[in-house]
């Protein structure tokens, strides 16, 4: 029989995997910087992208825990779309260019 503490750790171990996944995803542009001069990220770019990936992953986890399993696809699409819009806005200032 598992104790309450073991159940909490087991349920929240997904955040450990999310952190590891975030680090591995950030290794892609880091490796690209070593291969090509086209990719020029600063330390702040890595910090912002790491916070974005981890926070949107956390939002998805929390929302998927409170919704039914049939609606998780819609939650994932919504979170992914919001992530991509924010990423594009930070990258090229998309919304400001559309408005003006």
- Work out the number of other CB atoms within 10 angstroms of the CB of residue 1: 3
Q: Tell me what percent of the chain is helix, strand and coil, each rounded to the nearest 5.
A: 85, 0, 15
CA dist., res. 48 & res. 53, Å (int): 9
CA dist., res. 68 & res. 70, Å (int): 5
Q: What is the mean pLDDT of residues 37-48?
A: 90
Say what the pLDDT of residue 97 is.
65
CA dist., res. 27 & res. 37, Å (int): 16
- Residue 50 tokens read as 């790491």
Say what the pLDDT of residue 94 is.
60
Residue 81 has pLDDT above 70, yes or no: yes
Model pTM score: 0.80
pLDDT band at 95 (very low <50, low <70, confident <90, very high): low
Percent of the chain past pLDDT 70, that is, above it, reads: 85
């Amino acid at each position: 029989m598992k104790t309450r503490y073991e159940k909490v750790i087991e349920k929240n171990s997904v955040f450990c995997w999310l952190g590891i996944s975030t680090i591995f995803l950030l290794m892609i542009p880091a490796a690209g910087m070593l291969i090509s001069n086209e990719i020029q990220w600063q330390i702040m770019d890595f910090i912002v992208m790491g916070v974005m990936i981890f926070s949107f992953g956390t939002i998805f986890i929390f929302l998927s825990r409170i919704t039914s399993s049939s609606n998780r696809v819609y939650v994932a699409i919504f979170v992914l779309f919001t992530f991509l819009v924010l990423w594009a806005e930070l990258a090229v200032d998309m919304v400001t260019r559309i408005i003006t």
